Structure 1
Amino acid sequence: MSLTLNEARDISLRVREHAELLGVSITVAIVDAGGHVRVLERMDGASPLSARVAPAKASSCALFHRDGPDLAKMQQAWPTVFAQIDQIAGAPIIAGAGSRLIRRDGVVVGALSISGSTPAEDDEIADAALGLKPSSTPAPVSG
């Protein structure tokens, strides 16, 4: 079961619409279950660095099967492991706000990450794009 490009594009559209409602410019990264980028969009005015942070946060969530806040707790609990794990993963591991798993029928099919606004806004945008209430269980992707 894979996250389709159309599903990823639909989620990205919802992200950008909510960011515009908040009046912020962000970058959204959407990855498949293996952490590979499906969509990466940097809104006009978004920080250039956000285009590197968002994919790293999204792929970290997908590879660990953990939302950003849960991954951050793991990182705090095992700092020695996380100091070295990016060497094993072959990519930076970043736990941060605005990172959520995407599930279909209870199975992780990908993840999304928002970068470029405040942590609270990143979380709000990610949750809104997935139809979630803040700090709730991810909604399934239709399909």
Structure 2
Amino acid sequence: MAEISTSKARTIIRKAMAKGEQMGFKPLSVVVLDAGGHVKAFERADGASSGRFGIAQGKAYGAVMLGMPGSAQMARAEQQAYFMAAVNGVYGGQVVPVPGGILVRDKRGNLIGAVGVTGDTSDNDVIAGMAGINAAGLTGDA
């Protein structure tokens, strides 16, 4: 099974944070999970609130566990709230079904993990996350 390397995870975080700073976003927090939902790397910018790890992790965890990005999870929650409530029950309340949870694929299209970004608007979180993923030479599904 393909997996995301620690080096790639660090690149994603570094470049996502840089994109946020460049665009004047609020302080971001970024987590990278492997395909099994385990943390590979995390960073919280100076000034970001301390609770941001849980939000970033929940965005990424929902993406990788369900195989759908945060935008698709949010649409599903709006259409079938009971489904997302059940999913959150299954996963112990760890799913945050909003944009900013991005699936990560390698050059062959294999799912290798997910990125969760939080701190600014969900749309801006996605912009930063995709910049990091692309900089690492990977593909993101937001």
Same fold (TM over 0.5): yes
Q: Does 116-125 or 59-68 show the bigger shift?
A: 116-125
Say if 1:29 and 1:39, in contact at 8 Å, map to a contact too.
yes
Amino acid corresponding to residue 126 of structure 1 in structure 2: G
Aligned to 1:139: 139
Residue 95 (1) aligns with residue 80 (2): no
Deviations 1:72-118 (CA, angstroms, capped at 9, x unpaired): 11222221122122222234211112221100111110010110112
Task: Report the TM-score when normalising by structure 2.
Answer: 0.86
State the structure with bigger RCO (CA 8 A, min sep 6), 1 or 2.
Answer: 2
Deviations 1:2-59 (CA, angstroms, capped at 9, x unpaired): 1111111111111111111123311001101111111111010012221210011101
Count of matched residue pairs? 135
Amino acid corresponding to residue 43 of structure 1 in structure 2: A
| Cα distance in 2 for residues equivalent to 1:91 and 1:34 | 17
| Cα distance in 2 for residues equivalent to 1:139 and 1:80 | 31
Task: Report the TM-score when normalising by structure 1.
Answer: 0.86
3-state SS in 2 of match to 1:2? coil
| Cα distance in 1 for residues equivalent to 2:77 and 2:100 | 16
Note the aligned Cα RMSD (angstroms).
1.8
Amino acid corresponding to residue 79 of structure 1 in structure 2: A
Per the TM alignment, residue 130 of structure 1 is displaced from its structure 2 partner at its CA by 2.1
Task: Summarize the alignment of residues 1-143 of structure 1 with structure 2, pairs less than 5 Å apart.
Answer: 1-23=2-24, 24-104=26-106, 105-131=108-134, 139=139
| Cα distance in 2 for residues equivalent to 1:91 and 1:8 | 25
Identical positions, percent: 25
Unpaired runs of 5+ residues, structure 2, are none
Unpaired runs of 5+ residues, structure 1, are 133-137
| Cα distance in 1 for residues equivalent to 2:83 and 2:16 | 32
